[in-house]
Amino acid sequence: MATVPLLTDEAADPAARAVFDDIRAKRQTDYVNNFWRALAHDPPLLAATWDRLQQVMAPGALDPLVKELIYVAVSVTNGCEYCTHSHTAAARAKGMTPAMHAELLAVIAMAAQTNALATALQVPTDERFQT
């Protein structure tokens, strides 16, 4: 259950429905996932989030699959169940193979481990890491 009802197209106000339509058009699907239906209670936040997501995830100096892997890494580290599922699925849709998934998980686990050690040891930052 969500802390707000998920809004159907009928229940959403026109501004939210316009975002739903844009999601369907841009993603070439008739499916709008639950995140957007929950956010639709606040149409300006919905629109701002969708607009920003498209800008951030567009091809650039990093390709979209690499961005999606980074998104999964953050979502896992934040312990976000929904985001871990949705961005793992998105990464697969963008070409993540099982071998890439396995390596992604190994890096996340390695980082979690050395992050904990560095924090436990309170290691001071080396001068040479300074820019």
- We find the least distance from the C-beta atom of residue 21 to its own copies, in angstroms, to be 19
Site for its own copies in 112-131 (CB under 8 A): 112-126, 128-131
Q: CA–CA separation, 74 vs 29, rounded Å? A: 26
What is the C-alpha separation between 80 and 25, in angstroms, rounded? Answer: 27
Q: Does 108 bind its own copies (CB under 8 A)?
A: yes
Asked if 1 is part of the footprint of its own copies (rule: CB under 8 A), the reply reads: yes
Exactly one of 22, 42, 47, 94 binds its own copies (CB under 8 A); that residue is: 42
Using CB under 8 A, pick the residue from 18, 24, 35, 94 that binds its own copies: 35
Distance set, CA 10 to CA 13, 32, 37, 41 (Å)? 8, 13, 11, 13
**Residue 112 in contact with residue 77, Cβ under 8 Å?**
yes
State whether residue 108 is helix, strand or coil: helix
Task: Tell me the H-state helices in the chain.
Answer: 14-27, 34-39, 43-57, 64-77, 81-93, 98-121
11 binds its own copies (CB under 8 A): no
**Stretch 61-100 residues interacting with its own copies (CB under 8 A):** 61-62, 66-67, 69-89, 97-100
For residue 19, the minimal CB distance to its own copies (Å) is 14
For its own copies, which residue of 12, 30, 39, 47 counts as binding (CB under 8 A)? 39
Query: In this complex, which beta carbon is closest to its own copies, that of residue 14 or of residue 124?
Result: 124
